[in-house]
Amino acid sequence: RLELELERLRLDRANRAQQDSQHKQELELMEDVWRGEAQDLLTQIAQLQEENKALVDNLSPKSLTITQEEILRQEAGMSERERQVMKKLKEVVDKQRDELRAKDRELTLKNQDVEALQQQLNRLMKINHDLRHKVTVMDAQGRALIEQKAELEALLQTREQETGKLRAEAGKSRDKSPRQPAHNQEEKGKAEALSEEDFLDSEPVVVDVNDTSRPRFTLQELRDVLHERNELKAKVFVLQEELAYYKSEEAEEENAPFSPPSPALQQKPAAQPESSIRRLFSLFSRDKR
């Protein structure tokens, strides 16, 4: 739209320049015509003066006096006519000059408008380029988050399978040695309380007790695996939250009406506030340390 307006203003300026040129040509033509008429009048005056002079030479002294008076009146009349013609010519010339000055001022204003529109168009093009770059960066970040989420989900599934095996192994070990010391019973009770909620959604894994190559883990290793599983879940939640944030921000930018950004918006955006999932993840990390 701005380009069409700019093109229209350019055509208007060209048309006005052409009209000004035509006015100048017409003015010059009128001046030439009026100069020619004035020259013709001067020539006629000279001829009439010569004729009057010849007539005066041929007349008597009495008639000479009358004739001279008539000649003076004729010369006065011709001079008045010539003055009127020159006055009209001057008025027309002054009027044309005023019109040309007005056209020049109007053309100057149009040129200023065209330059302002050109600057605004350049700014809008720059803003559009920046927004496209930002959308591209956000798309890349979104794809990276999706890939990282898929990797973490796969790793979480693997850890869940491992915890299922550990749960089965711990149950078999408890069944084989029911008379363990009191402190071992207390530690196992804590481990079971710690992992009870984590194993509610896990699928049972059948482990062959007679298999000598089955994995064997200590209680500390079981706790480490459960803790790592919780960390992976927290990471998945964080990635889901960040992905939803970027998608909502991108949707808002697409649906928002286009307008030049204010200086405050053109500054670097502040860092994203820490979410509750991030705080939960930091607590898990401190517990592990």
> How far is it, in rounded angstroms, from Cα 238 to Cα 42?
102
By percentage, how much of the chain surpasses pLDDT 90? 0
The secondary structure element, H or E, covering residue 177 is none
Long-range contacts of the stretch 47-55 (C-beta < 8 A, 24+): 48/74, 48/78, 49/75
pLDDT higher at 283 or 158: 158
Q: What is the mean pLDDT of the chain?
A: 71
Output the six-digit token pair for 127.
Answer: 């803003």
**pLDDT band for position 238 (cuts 50, 70, 90):** confident
User: How many whole angstroms from its chain centre is CA 186?
Assistant: 66
Per-residue pLDDT, 182: 45
Per-residue pLDDT, 79: 65
Q: What is the pLDDT of residues 29-71, one digit of tens each?
A: 887 887 787 788 888 888 887 887 777 777 655 554 555 566 6
> How far is it, in rounded angstroms, from Cα 19 to Cα 11?
12
Instruction: Return the number of other C-beta atoms located less than 10 Å from residue 121's C-beta.
Output: 15
Output the six-digit token pair for 149.
Answer: 């989420």
Per-residue pLDDT, 92: 83
> How far is it, in rounded angstroms, from Cα 235 to Cα 89?
92
Q: What is the pLDDT of residues 73-122, one digit of tens each?
A: 665 665 677 777 778 888 888 888 888 888 888 888 888 888 888 888 88
> How far is it, in rounded angstroms, from Cα 184 to Cα 225?
19
Per-residue pLDDT, 85: 77
Per-residue pLDDT, 59: 64
Output the six-digit token pair for 144.
Answer: 């990276």
Q: Which residue has the tokens 């517990």?
A: 287
- Give this prediction's pTM: 0.34
Per-residue pLDDT, 242: 80
Per-residue pLDDT, 267: 42
Q: Where are the domains of the chain?
A: 2-127, 141-258+271-288
Q: What is the pLDDT of residues 169-228, one digit of tens each?
A: 777 777 765 544 444 454 444 444 444 444 444 444 444 445 555 555 566 777 777 788
Exposed e or buried b for every residue in 76-108, given b needs 16+ CB within 10 A?
eebeeeeeeeeeebeeeeeebeeeeeeeeeeee
With a CB cutoff of 8 Å and minimum separation 6, the contacts of 152 are 232, 235, 236, 239
Per-residue pLDDT, 257: 53
With a CB cutoff of 8 Å and minimum separation 6, the contacts of 249 are 138
